[in-house]
Chain A
Amino acid sequence: MGLFETKNLTKNFGGLSAVRDLSFRLDENEIVGLIGPNGSGKTTVFNVICGVYQADGGQVVFRGREIGRKRPDEVVSLGIARTFQATRLFSERTVWQNAIHGRHVCTSAGVFQAVTAGRKGQQEEQESEKKTHEILGLLGLLPYRDHLAKNIPLGFQRRLAIAVALATDPKILLLDEPTVGMNPHETQEMMGLISRLRDWGMTVLLVEHDMKVVMGICQRVIVLNYGKKIAEGSPQEISNNREVIEAYLGKGAYA
């Protein structure tokens, strides 16, 4: 049994089917790329998995449990965290505050604990601070600790978005185009970082446009076109697949 699986996932927007009958699985500790031309339904897949959209058909199974009807906050608490396209951060908060926001699901102190400054709440808080420090250290964000998120360079903002997601202690990380708009140097660094996520025990599902990134770090690649899976396999297999090349470059391009 895999760690995570979608079975015949379908999502329609009115007459448009954004995701059609999509089945794929993620195994423990692998980096899987999800690619496809613009509008092929990659981000919709993310939104369905995370509970932002309800699927019109099919199942999402995580650790043997159906999670297709869960709310976004419940999905995170189960262990699936995500980042957003074009970087979403608490921009008026500092780097440190952003990351510690991510600890929300791992803590449980209520209002009573807060008002009385109870021991349980204090312990949790210390634990959160330790973990936040660790994550910021791993991602090289400690030098920017007290800077406002909106004021740090783009490359670091992207890392911070990953740090916030990591702070929720996920098992699976869904990254939505983490290198878009980056220069080659920043892209290289981001690739190194994503590879390291794997060493830290993370399973990563990566939506990406940049073929170099996908070919460089993914063990497996899933290709979508018009919401349908048209190919799946190792990066080498994918790059020689006729259908994939046609989807990207048009019919007749395969030579």
Chain B
Amino acid sequence: MSVLIAGLWLRQLVRAWLQKWSKETGWKGFDILRQTTRIPSVIWALTVAAWLAVLVSTIPSDWEGYASKGLWTLFALSLALSLLNMAGRLIELWGEHLKAPEQAAKATWHLARIVIVLITVLTLLEIWGAPITAILLAAGILTLLAMLVMRDVGPDLVAALQMSSSRHFGVGDYIKLKDTGEEGYVTQMNWRNTLVRASSGSVTIVPNRKLAQTTVINYGHPVKKAKEPFRFYSRSHMKELTGLKARNLRELADTLKVVPDSVIYYHTHHFLEEHHYLTPQPANDLSLWVDEALGDEVLAERLASVDTFQFASLQALRERHVSIIEEQLAQAVSLREAAPGDEFHFVKSISVIISAPYQASDIREFVEALRKLSPGSLYFHVFESRLRLGRGLNDFSAWLADSLGEDELAQKIARVDPYTHSLENLRLLLIQLVEKETGEANRL
């Protein structure tokens, strides 16, 4: 009885300490310890007292052995139940504190439960004198197997825990992986993978361990959404022969007056795409032919210097070229003829425009798509839509102003003369302009 009284007094003392520490530190874990041991601790005091009573009693030794084992079994079970309860609530508390993914917390809880149950079973077997060497061996093998199975999962789980505790980024953030260049919004984080949605709509599943090992740029939470997403188009072109050709300036001017706009467009633009890797790019076809086939360098220079960027329509561009040639014709004493085989062949540009697998709902997705676009697509939105489709403005500026309200950026891009840059330089320039204007560059 005195042992029981001492046990209950000790219980009260410990509970009082826990309450005091809880108040002093504010850590809820002490409350959990108090609550989960409230009833089991009474059982523990009772069983210890009963066990001592059995030891000093005069009952037969067989009975004494069974009684001791029974009491220790009760002790172990109540301890196990108490630990299970305690572990569950502590893991829950830890998960909330770290904002860990729900699945990571669940996985930890399952692991803790398995460990507690396993230890309890082994303890009970030990109490009742069962041979546990074989069981321990089997458990060891099982553990090894489990570790083998979990060897891929483990690093991901650890990385998930690290990322959760560091809180460098979370669901909703826009991130970029520096190694691979993948970027997009984080849509989900679980204990194995992190899901990143790119502007194309595709979702990349990145293993957490990879994410933990690479440099991740976090651009933060979503920026302003556009009223309408920008839909990128892919543009490919092919050449159709008109069968028309010119041998001298007269024929060149007369034919230029009557050919379709797509012919004017071809001869004033196709070299931009064919030689888009070159700086500086060669002159337009008309200038090249006048120089190479007719040997008229002065006229060639005048035709090359026509500033296509200043023209809002192909008709106006056509008239300018024709007027330059006719001015020359008015002054010329005689007509120079191109040698047979060197005639100017009029070619028509046929464009095929297809919706590309990219769209941008905000400025970040826009920059990301700009980086990945094919040269043909970039060409379409900057050159073709402005002049050939008669929109008067490049598509990017129109969208930035109308759908995002970025008027200043839109104007800056509209002022860029694309004819003075190679396509790749133009791409870089546009990206720099957008990043500078929106402050994205500073976040890198």
Q: Do A and B come from one complex?
A: no
Q: Which residues of B contact A (CB under 8 A)?
A: none
